[in-house]
Amino acid sequence: MSALISFEKRKQPPLDVWLSSDTHDLGGAPGDVFLMAAYLAAWRAGERSIDIDYPVDPLVVANLSVVARIIGLWDRRSGPPPAINAATSATFSTNRGVGLFLSGGVDSVASLSTLTKSYPPEHPRRPTHSILIDYQAINRMSEQEAEARYSGRRRICETLSGSAGVDLIALRTNLRLLDDSGKFWAERWHGAVLASVAHAVSNHIGTVNIGSTKTWDTLEPWGSHPALDPLYSGRSVQTQHHGFEMSRMDKIRSIVDWQDALDLINVCTSRESGGTNCGSCEKCLRTRVQLLACGALANAGAFAGSEVDPSELRNTIAPNRYSLQCFTDALEPLRQMGRHDLVDAIEHFVDRSERDNAFKRLLRKISKRLPVR
């Protein structure tokens, strides 16, 4: 499935964007897929309108207008969203399969675990498919490194999917070429791209679950959000934001009795780790602390049963409120375990992180008020 996408506001050749899979055919409506993926990127680029040769689902168009209103409230500087010019489509899939996006991280693995535990086989809400996406070489990563990372993550997701009794859809795409900003991807766009991929496989699934990142009490404007994700639905696919009522400790608890998950979860985003868990970055450290607090670290092959030393917290900063919550949620279980050394280290770590984050917020506030030269 492919499309040629041109930006009038950018001085660049048209982009040949595509999606492909070596496990399943892609039978979704191309108009819905590429509109969903390109809409926010076109808005950010300053486009006044989007002209599409493919017909599109009018419900998708209507829902995107609501997405634009929400994001416009988040950022008053967004400007007017682009108008959508396309013929409407009256066809839609009626397949009732249920999908979820699976990366191998805690959020998606916890969604797979809780959904398959909550619903018995043949229940209409039980997942039938997992979806792994390879975005090709991004963040200036070499093709060789990107391929090695994808191959490793695919092996993880194949094992977890087989263990949970769901069918893995492995899909590759270069949709992220539409905008290469990592900040935009994280804070506004990634939910829309995930949904566009779900629309591409609407011949296999009628519902898709996007695992939450934030919890209800740490919600903030983000690319995947309980207010946005359901609006990426159309007549063929209903998109759902799953698990935001669960803290990350709750998610860890949901997988402690699943040995494959403990052995295979992959949370590390370090460029130096080669696609495995480095064990020392903030994300790896928070996962190890929470596994320890749940009594599961010694059995977690993903971290080779490593212990947590209080000294590891000295050179790390929690980057946001959600990360701080992950560490503070572990305090009481660690107290009950008698790990007062680690409790003291986490409390100092939280205090230092809060001061550091407050200073960074002040700098951002000042920079916004400075005149642009």
Whether residue 217 is found in the same domain as residue 326 = no
Whether residue 197 is found in the same domain as residue 136 = yes
> Which among 308, 370, 367 is positioned nearest to 334, based on CA atoms?
308
What confidence score (pLDDT) does residue 95 get?
66
- Name the domain boundary from 186, 214, 242: 242
What confidence score (pLDDT) does residue 45 get?
95
pLDDT for residue 69 is more than 60: yes
Q: What is the pLDDT of residues 153-203, one digit of tens each?
A: 999 999 999 999 999 999 999 999 999 999 999 999 999 999 999 999 999
Whether residue 213 is found in the same domain as residue 129 = yes
CB 52 within 8 A of CB 86: yes
Provide the number of structural domains found in the chain.
2
CB 16 within 8 A of CB 2: yes
What confidence score (pLDDT) does residue 304 get?
86
Q: Cα–Cα–Cα angle for 219, 221, 224, nearest 5°?
A: 85
What confidence score (pLDDT) does residue 356 get?
84
Report CA-CA distances (Å) from 232 to 66, 188, 244. 10, 13, 17
Whether residue 298 is found in the same domain as residue 217 = no
- Look at residue 107 and give its three-state secondary structure: helix
Structure-token match 């979860």, residue found: 265
Q: What is the pLDDT of residues 204-218, one digit of tens each?
A: 999 999 999 988 888
What confidence score (pLDDT) does residue 144 get?
83
- Name the domain boundary from 242, 265, 291: 242
81: buried, middle or exposed (CB in 10 Å: 19+, 13-18, 0-12)? buried
What confidence score (pLDDT) does residue 365 get?
73
pLDDT for residue 319 is more than 80: yes
Whether residue 212 is found in the same domain as residue 282 = no
Is residue 105 included in any domain, yes or no? yes
What confidence score (pLDDT) does residue 18 get?
97
* Confidence label for 14 from pLDDT (cuts 50, 70 and 90): very high
What confidence score (pLDDT) does residue 282 get?
93
Whether residue 7 is found in the same domain as residue 125 = yes
pLDDT for residue 93 is more than 80: no
**CA 163 – CA 167 distance, rounded (Å):** 10
What confidence score (pLDDT) does residue 139 get?
64
**CA 138 – CA 185 distance, rounded (Å):** 12
Is residue 260 included in any domain, yes or no? no
- Name the domain boundary from 193, 221, 242: 242
Is residue 299 included in any domain, yes or no? yes
**CA 314 – CA 329 distance, rounded (Å):** 19
What lies within 8 Å, CB to CB, of 134 at 6+ separation is 146, 150, 153, 154, 170, 171, 172, 173
**CA 106 – CA 322 distance, rounded (Å):** 14
* Confidence label for 371 from pLDDT (cuts 50, 70 and 90): low
Is residue 110 included in any domain, yes or no? yes
Q: What is the pLDDT of residues 201-256, one digit of tens each?
A: 999 999 999 999 988 888 889 999 999 999 999 999 999 999 999 999 999 999 99
Q: Provide the whole-model pTM.
A: 0.92
Whether residue 287 is found in the same domain as residue 207 = no
- Buried b or exposed e, range 252-268, using 16+ CB within 10 angstroms: bbbbbebebbbbbbbbb
**CA 79 – CA 258 distance, rounded (Å):** 47
Is residue 145 included in any domain, yes or no? yes
Range of the domain at 185: 2-242
Whether residue 88 is found in the same domain as residue 143 = yes
Is residue 6 included in any domain, yes or no? yes
State the chain's mean pLDDT as an integer: 92
Whether residue 211 is found in the same domain as residue 312 = no
Lowest mean pLDDT among 1-5, 58-62, 143-147, 152-156: 143-147
Neighbours of 163 (CB within 10 A): 16
Lowest mean pLDDT among 11-15, 63-67, 240-244: 11-15
Q: In sequence order, what are the beta bridge partners of 49?
A: 83
Whether residue 132 is found in the same domain as residue 25 = yes
Is residue 263 included in any domain, yes or no? no
What confidence score (pLDDT) does residue 359 get?
78
What confidence score (pLDDT) does residue 368 get?
65
What is the edge-to-edge ordering of all strands in the sheet holding 167-173? 2-5, 15-21, 167-173, 129-134, 98-101, 207-211, 238-242
Whether residue 206 is found in the same domain as residue 143 = yes
Is residue 252 included in any domain, yes or no? no
* Confidence label for 370 from pLDDT (cuts 50, 70 and 90): low
What confidence score (pLDDT) does residue 364 get?
73
Whether residue 101 is found in the same domain as residue 222 = yes
